[in-house]
Amino acid sequence: MKKLGIGVLGVGEMGRRHAENLRRLVPEAWVVAVADAAAEHARKVAEELEIENSYGGLEAMLQNKDLQAVLIATPDKFHAEAIGIAARAGKDILCEKPLALNIADARAALEAVSKAHVRLQIGFMRRYDPGYAAAMKRIEAGEIGTPVIFKSVGRDKDEPPLTAYQSNLNGMVFYNNTIHDFDLARWLMQDEVSEVHSYTTVAIRPEVARYGDVVASVVNLQYRNGAIGNVESYVQAVYGYDVRTEVVGSKGSILVGSLRQAPATFLTAQGGVQTLADQFLTRFQDAYLAEVRDFVQSMLNDRPPRVSGQDGLKALTIAVAAEKSYLQKTPVKITAEVGLSA
């Protein structure tokens, strides 16, 4: 069997799951190595997953001649630079979202990819979720007519520790969380966002403002072809991990997502209980597996990745506009392909 030699960079919560999926559940992948700035942690993960090699960083891992592709799952801040380095070494890349934290870095990364003639997929795994994928098929088949309204909610369960804000390793909420909804906003509506207007709050945790972040946000969207939308993000919903989306069309509507972890209700004399989804790794477990499987298949069969670098750039552009709108307290237009104007 033809196999894709792949190395995983950054084996924290997300990267470890990717490495495990590739190692155990994607027979066409050969996980040659894992690498992490915490070299001892990389060694442990390699040992647990029975992966032969581990390294303390990307450059060292790239010396391994068996590597054809790199999966990047470091914190957001390092994505663009790692894409450039892996591309210049001639490797195909699957990079976690976001592509970068600003447009200049994103463009530099995409230029490196294009110059090196390698391929880049961005980790918008919701496109691989069975619910979202089924919704897209029906939208493409015209079943709800012309999309008119996009609505999406993304709520994390637990309050992030202040150290997560202090470390400054990941982008603020629009880059780290809402970016998934910005991608869905383009993909499901088959249209581009032309204007955003953001509203944010830190009212229940004012100290977050010190780190340039917010606790909750809503972003209103205007589309080029006249549709409208709204995206809400909330990082401390307490009750569960709650991701839901609705696309309303001229002939009907599609609702994706449910609060329930499993289709089961437990009934006793005290009443009924349903287990709620609590975390992305469980809610999107099928999507993460389908995502890496599709990446491996695309690379082995010389197909362009299904979620491109341009998709990464366009979602990032909406995030940049949303942040600008929040800082300036005005609507922000997204003018040309990736241009912004106040």
Ligand X SMILES: NC(=O)c1ccc[n+]([C@@H]2O[C@H](COP(=O)([O-])OP(=O)(O)OC[C@H]3O[C@@H](n4cnc5c(N)ncnc54)[C@H](O)[C@@H]3O)[C@@H](O)[C@H]2O)c1
User: Contact, 83 vs 120, CB < 8 A?
Assistant: yes
Q: Which of residues 181-210 bind ligand X (CB under 6 A)?
A: none
Using CB under 6 A as the binding rule, whether residue 9 contacts ligand X is answered as yes
Whichever of 147 and 154 has its CB closer to ligand X, that residue is 154
* Joined tokens for residue 126: 């919701």
Q: Measure the CA–CA gap between 133 and 33, rounded to whole angstroms.
A: 31
Q: Measure the CA–CA gap between 175 and 318, rounded to whole angstroms.
A: 9
Which range binds ligand X by CB under 6 A, 35-43, 140-148, 241-249, 264-272? 35-43
Answer for which of 21, 53, 74, 325 binds ligand X (CB under 6 A) is 74
| Residues contacting ligand X: total by CB under 6 A | 24
Tell me the C-alpha to C-alpha distance, in Å, between residue 116 and each of 8, 51, 105, 113, 314: 20, 28, 17, 5, 21
Which range binds ligand X by CB under 6 A, 74-82, 245-253, 312-320, 331-339? 74-82
Whichever of 15 and 249 has its CB closer to ligand X, that residue is 15
Q: Measure the CA–CA gap between 243 and 177, rounded to whole angstroms.
A: 11
Answer for which of 5, 57, 160, 331 binds ligand X (CB under 6 A) is 57
Answer for which of 12, 103, 157, 236 binds ligand X (CB under 6 A) is 12
Q: Is 117 helix (H, G, I), strand (E, B) or coil?
A: coil
In angstroms, what is the minimal distance from the CB of 220 to ligand X? 24
Using CB under 6 A as the binding rule, whether residue 73 contacts ligand X is answered as yes
Cα atoms in the Cβ-side hemisphere of radius 13 Å centred on 40: 0
Answer for which of 125, 172, 227, 313 binds ligand X (CB under 6 A) is 125
Q: Which of residues 75-114 bind ligand X (CB under 6 A)?
A: 75-76, 78, 96-97
In angstroms, what is the minimal distance from the CB of 122 to ligand X? 9
Q: Other C-beta atoms within 10 Å of 147: how many? A: 21
Candidates 53, 13, 14, 12; CA nearest to 31 is: 53
Q: Which residue is nearest to ligand X (CB)?
A: 12
Q: Is 6 helix (H, G, I), strand (E, B) or coil?
A: strand
Q: Measure the CA–CA gap between 263 and 280, rounded to whole angstroms.
A: 17
Binding string, 237-276, against ligand X, x = CB under 6 A?
A: ----------------------------------------
User: Contact, 31 vs 57, CB < 8 A?
Assistant: no
DSSP string for 244-294:
EEEEEETTEEEEE--SBSSS--EEETTEEE-PBP--HHHHTHHHHHHHHHH
Using CB under 6 A as the binding rule, whether residue 176 contacts ligand X is answered as yes
Report how many helices (DSSP H) and strands (DSSP E) the chain contains, helices first.
12, 16
Whichever of 36 and 105 has its CB closer to ligand X, that residue is 36
Whichever of 74 and 245 has its CB closer to ligand X, that residue is 74
Using CB under 6 A as the binding rule, whether residue 123 contacts ligand X is answered as yes
Which range binds ligand X by CB under 6 A, 69-77, 107-115, 214-222, 226-234? 69-77
Answer for which of 8, 14, 144, 299 binds ligand X (CB under 6 A) is 14
Residues in touch with ligand X (CB under 6 A): 9-15, 36-38, 41, 57, 73-76, 78, 96-97, 123, 125, 170, 176, 280
